[in-house]
Amino acid sequence: MGILNELVDIGKALHDERLVIGPGGNISAVVGGVLYIKKRGADMSRQDHNDFFNIPIDEVDVEHEEISSECPFHLACYKADKKIGAIIHVHSPYMIAASEKARELRDISYEFDCILGSSVPVIDYIQPGSGDLAQKVAEHVKDGKNTILMRKHGAVSTGKDLKQAYLRILALERACITFLHT
């Protein structure tokens, strides 16, 4: 139950940080070949263990009506980099605003450099939940990017575990706020 507790806690923290509201956004982790992913429509502010699917990663049916609509890009990221153990997707207004004003975020602060690297790509709007979006996000993950901004949609962070993915999404939020104020 450890990973489920962590998913619930970080999901609630994402809500408390105002990175998601209602059923928006999603979160997942892979432990021992099992994918744990938020169910479609689950509200992170009050989710519990029952709000997550846990299924062997090679048996996931992305067409299942209750699984997160963004499951395709979660799976594509895990396939693109086997070191990834967790993924967070949020709909932050600051991230969306920054994605409308930049083609790429660059080393805006020391914190940015240390946590996110030299740059964060911005991808043009692609239909949420689509195979095209999954492919585009996975391309950037293959290129070594740990955070990606998506125009009109929000952002994705990856990490070896949920704590690292969470730290990265928080660092990206701060970078976007800083960028918008410069």
**Which of 41, 51, 39 shows the shortest CA–CA distance to 8?**
51
Q: How far apart are CA 93 and CA 134, in angstroms?
A: 22
pLDDT at 1 over 80: no
Q: Domain spanning 2-180: which superfamily?
A: Class II aldolase/adducin N-terminal domain (3.40.225.10)
Per-residue model confidence as pLDDT tens digits over 111-149 = 999 999 999 999 999 999 999 999 999 999 999 999 999
Residue 21 dihedral angles phi and psi, to the nearest 5°: -135, 150
| Mean of pLDDT values over 12-29 | 94
Band of residue 63 on the pLDDT scale cut at 50, 70, 90: confident
Q: How far apart are CA 55 and CA 47, in angstroms?
A: 18
pLDDT at 96 over 90: yes
Using an 8 Å Cβ cutoff, are 164 and 82 in contact? no
Record the pTM.
Answer: 0.95
Domain ranges of the chain: 2-180
